Amino acid sequence: MSASSPFADRFILVTGASGFVGEHLVRRLVRRHSAVAGTFLSNPVSIDGVVTVPLDATDGPAFSRLIRDMRPAAIVHCAAQTNTNWCEDNPHEARLAIVNATANLVTAVFERAPDTPVIAFSTDLVFDGQSAPYVEDAAPGPLNAYGKLKLEAEPLILTLPRGMVLRSALVYGPPTSRRDSFLSWMVKQLANWDDLGLFEDEWRTPVFVDDLEDAVWRLLTVPAAEQSGIFHAGGPDRLSRIEMGRRLAEVFGLPEQPIRALLRSDVHRGHLRASDVSLSCGRLRAVQWNPTSFDNGLQECLRRWSALRSTS
Ligand SMILES: NC(=O)c1ccc[n+]([C@@H]2O[C@H](COP(=O)([O-])OP(=O)(O)OC[C@H]3O[C@@H](n4cnc5c(N)ncnc54)[C@H](OP(=O)(O)O)[C@@H]3O)[C@@H](O)[C@H]2O)c1
């Protein structure tokens, strides 16, 4: 057990540990605290040092049993349906996986130990993109079903005494055993000299996935009185999608020629894409969270990608 962990031998439970953020999170958290458990739904994962268990978060009794039996010291809720088009086309199932699942978590925590610190991931897509950068108490106005459902889930978490909503910007990092971030798609297109259309009218503050784990750990270890409310986690650089592609090409030594400029209006459902949802992260900055620049994050991704290639 890490000497600095305040959680003794009790578990930190991460839902959605088979997902992109969840797997990165548990792999890093277990270096700080040896009792980490993660859940999966349809993609069983095996991660050194991490206990993994199945959970369908839409099954309320199952969620309650898990919390009752495990008695976690803290919970990080990553599990969700994250495909925006899928959420648009399957509103009922998307609501179950995002809103009902969060309600089940909140019920389970109230039943067992209401004082448990709980961090639930939300998204920059709760904003309409018209008045960035967004501070934590800016008025939301989601454009698409995914953003609307994530916004609906937020106040459920905030009913918990130590409920925290962590709104993340677009996340990037090296691939996990089960998932890729948008970087993998860009790398593949550029490496194969395949057309890569990227928006020049859509801006984000991409956040390096390691920095999310740092944010989570900081929030789990601040004094209990500060463990409530909404926090924003975005990287320090505001970049358009096409700028991200060009930086990636430069850092990874890939050709820029396949990159082609697109406008959101060029694509089906472009109207559901927020133009600029850059996040201002004052509350996390106040606990000395200092996210990595996009270029440095890319360098770290390249280093780990190369290490993966040399061991495979
Ligand atoms: N990635 C981003 O750029 C981004 C940006 C902003 C916010 N976020 C938020 O961050 C969180 C993690 O995102 P991610 O990119 O890691 O998502 P992801 O890769 O799509 O992973 C989703 C995870 O949720 C699990 N899951 C889905 N439905 C479930 C259910 N009914 N019960 C239990 N587990 C279920 C999946 O399990 P299986 O794979 O085993 O089926 C998987 O582990 C989400 O809340 C997302 O909204 C992500």
Q: Is 145 left (phi over 0), alpha (psi -120 to 50) or beta?
A: alpha
Q: Give domain status of residue 259, yes or no.
A: no
Q: Give domain status of residue 75, yes or no.
A: yes
Specify the ligand 1 atom closest to the Cα of 168.
6
Distance separating alpha carbons of residues 84 and 148, to the nearest angstrom: 11
Q: How far, in Å, is the centroid of ligand 1 from the Cα of 76?
A: 12
Residue range of the domain that includes 80: 12-176+207-236+277-291
21 Cβ below 6 A of ligand 1: yes
Confidence label for 3 from pLDDT (cuts 50, 70 and 90): low
- Separation in Å, CA 245 to CA 1, 144, 240, 254: 41, 24, 9, 10
**Tokens describing residue 119:** 């961090």
pLDDT digits (tens, 9 = 90+) for 76-102: 999 999 999 999 999 999 999 999 999
Q: Give domain status of residue 153, yes or no.
A: yes
Distance separating alpha carbons of residues 17 and 44, to the nearest angstrom: 9
pLDDT digits (tens, 9 = 90+) for 252-273: 999 999 999 999 999 999 899 9
Q: What is the pLDDT of residue 6?
A: 86
Distance separating alpha carbons of residues 203 and 173, to the nearest angstrom: 18
Q: Give domain status of residue 202, yes or no.
A: no
**Tokens describing residue 277:** 């949802």
Nearest Cα to Cα of residue 167 among 138, 203, 198? 138
Confidence label for 306 from pLDDT (cuts 50, 70 and 90): confident
Question: Is residue 67 scored above 50 in pLDDT?
Answer: yes
Q: Give domain status of residue 188, yes or no.
A: no
pLDDT (average), residues 220-244: 97
Q: Give domain status of residue 160, yes or no.
A: yes
Nearest Cα to Cα of residue 202 among 174, 169, 250? 169
Q: How far, in Å, is the centroid of ligand 1 from the Cα of 255?
A: 32
For the whole model, what pTM was predicted? Answer: 0.97
Nearest Cα to Cα of residue 18 among 74, 57, 70, 73? 57
The domain total for the chain is: 1
Confidence label for 309 from pLDDT (cuts 50, 70 and 90): low
80 Cβ below 6 A of ligand 1: yes
180 Cβ below 6 A of ligand 1: no
- How many percent of the chain have pLDDT more than 70? 97
The 3-state secondary structure of 94-128 reads HHHHHHHHHHHHHHHHHHHCCCCCEEEEEEHHHCC
CATH code at position 48 = 3.40.50.720
Q: How far, in Å, is the centroid of ligand 1 from the Cα of 15?
A: 9
